[in-house]
Amino acid sequence: SQELEQSPQSLIVQEGKNLTINCTSSKTLYGLYWYKQKYGEGLIFLMMLQKGGEEKSHEKITAKLDEKKQQSSLHITASQPSHAGIYLCGADDYQGGSEKLVFGKGTKLTVNP
Amino acid sequence: ETGVTQTPRHLVMGMTNKKSLKCEQHLGHNAMYWYKQSAKKPLELMFVYNFKEQTENNSVPSRFSPECPNSSHLFLHLHTLQPEDSALYLCASSHRVYRETQYFGPGTRLLVL
């Protein structure tokens, strides 16, 4: 089955700094989703990428899917304390006639004021 | 506000108790999901329902029993749980099962004593 590896596992940055989180897949990505989770709460959908080379932005967050469709990055510009949380990437995994969403273990982001 | 609600938000139960988790979605979606999130592990899919029919049981122990009376409501009935079942249980919904963005509820934090 597909496995997603996120790096780094955790990240501490000073407010105002830029940062990047990576998500690498063991197989070709057909649908890649980025979610944000506050500790102990549900996942908030950020963006979905499907096409190689695709890039989407929302406010100060930009997500990209590489041309080979095996890696995605999430970039935050001028980070703020409100960006703190756990960022999860998820991917459509098709196996044995069924399809499900698999997730990475997440990247914990701390933004210090 | 994601349009997916879960109750209760927190639950403590003994190993001999029977309890139920409830999920309701107000998004007009046709597919609903239960996930388990344990510390240090990726999100694990438990069950999938499509138009009230169960389409996926990801090898979940029988002490977890799902019920989907209609496309808007999903329950997870719990009985004779083990301490290792303590986790955050998340409900999600999507318009269709395949390659669609899933929207998550806030989760139920379960502690089994």
- pLDDT for the residue A67: 83
Question: Residue A39 above 90 pLDDT?
Answer: no
Q: Is the CA virtual torsion A46, A50, A52, A56 positive or negative? A: negative
Shortest alpha-carbon distance between residue A106 and chain B (Å): 8
Identify which of A33, A42, A102 has the shortest CB distance to residue B90: A42
Residues forming a β-bridge with A61: A58, A76
Pull the structure tokens for residue B79.
């009985």
Shortest alpha-carbon distance between residue B66 and chain A (Å): 18
Shortest alpha-carbon distance between residue B89 and chain A (Å): 9
Question: Residue A60 above 60 pLDDT?
Answer: yes
**Nearest residue in chain A measured CA to CA from B103:** A45
For residues A10 and A110, the answer to whether their CB atoms sit within 8 Å is yes
Question: Residue B76 above 90 pLDDT?
Answer: yes
- pLDDT for the residue A30: 84
Residue B33: closest CA among B87, B81, B104, B86: B104
The rounded mean pLDDT for chain A is: 93
Q: What is the CA radius of gyration of chain B?
A: 13
**Nearest residue in chain B measured CA to CA from A9:** B40
CB contacts < 8 Å between A and B, how many?
54
Mutate to test the interface with A, among B41, B48, B104, B111 (most CBs of A within 10 A): B104
Residue B25: closest CA among B94, B77, B88: B94
For residues B91 and B106, the answer to whether their CB atoms sit within 8 Å is no
Question: Residue B2 above 80 pLDDT?
Answer: no
Question: Cβ B58–A100 below 8 Å, yes or no?
Answer: yes
Cα–Cα distance, B44 to A57 (Å, whole number): 28
For residues A104 and A84, the answer to whether their CB atoms sit within 8 Å is no
Beta strands in chain B (DSSP E): 4-7, 10-13, 18-25, 31-37, 44-50, 53-57, 64-70, 73-79, 87-94, 103-104, 108-112
Question: Residue B87 above 90 pLDDT?
Answer: yes
Express each pLDDT in A63-97 by its tens digit.
999 988 899 999 999 999 999 999 999 998 887 77
H-type alpha helices, B2-102: none
A100 touches chain B (CB under 8 A): yes
A101 touches chain B (CB under 8 A): yes
Of all helices (H) and strands (E), which one includes residue A87?
strand A85-95
A4 touches chain B (CB under 8 A): yes
A2 touches chain B (CB under 8 A): no
In the block, residue with structure tokens 């080379």: A53
Question: Residue A42 above 70 pLDDT?
Answer: yes
Express each pLDDT in B26-36 by its tens digit.
999 999 999 99
Cα–Cα distance, B32 to B100 (Å, whole number): 12
Report how far apart, in Å, the C-alpha atoms of B61 and of each of B83, B85, B88 are.
14, 10, 17
